[in-house]
Amino acid sequence: MTAVDRSIAWRAALLQAFLVAALAVVLAVALPQSFFEDWGWLAGPGAWAACALAAALVLRLPPLWVLAGAALSGLLMLPGVVLGVHWIGAPLALVVFGAWCGWTQRRQRVAAT
């Protein structure tokens, strides 16, 4: 069984958190509330995925694998969205995203040997 590269896991989770928070602030300042009411269902996952791809680039991880991890971890935020407390699932999603990235890095190393 392939273990998780903890260094990559922590860096990926923290980088994703920073990128998502920064993008959320920029979008909140630039766009009206009505945009998020109408298009939040698309903007949220799109922002999560875009930030994950940026993290993959910075950490030199395979983009498609990281995007798959972003999609799976993003599902953990759905209950909060349905309940109207959008950000409540984000901490767990970040932990899972980081673990996925750490697993992906370890998987890459094992495959290279």
Indicate the pTM of the whole model. 0.91
Residue whose C-alpha is closest to residue 5's, from 111, 112, 99, 94: 99
In a domain, 72, yes or no: yes
Q: What whole-number distance in Å separates Cα of residue 103 and Cα of residue 111?
A: 12
pLDDT at 63 over 70: yes
Per-residue pLDDT band at 23 (split at 50, 70, 90): very high
Domain housing 108: 6-112
Q: What is the mean pLDDT of residues 2-27?
A: 95
Q: How many domains does the chain have?
A: 1
> What does R_g of the chain's alpha carbons equal in angstroms?
15
Q: What is the mean pLDDT of residues 45-67?
A: 97
Q: What whole-number distance in Å separates Cα of residue 45 and Cα of residue 35?
A: 14
Per-residue pLDDT band at 2 (split at 50, 70, 90): low
In a domain, 1, yes or no: no
In a domain, 22, yes or no: yes
**Percent of the chain residues past pLDDT 70, beyond the cut:** 98
pLDDT at 98 over 60: yes
Across 40-44, 56-60, 106-110, least confident range: 106-110
| Mean pLDDT taken over the chain | 93
Residues in the chain: 113
Sequential DSSP letters for 18-44: HHHHHHHHHHHHHS-HHHHHHHHHHHH
Q: What is the mean pLDDT of residues 58-62?
A: 97
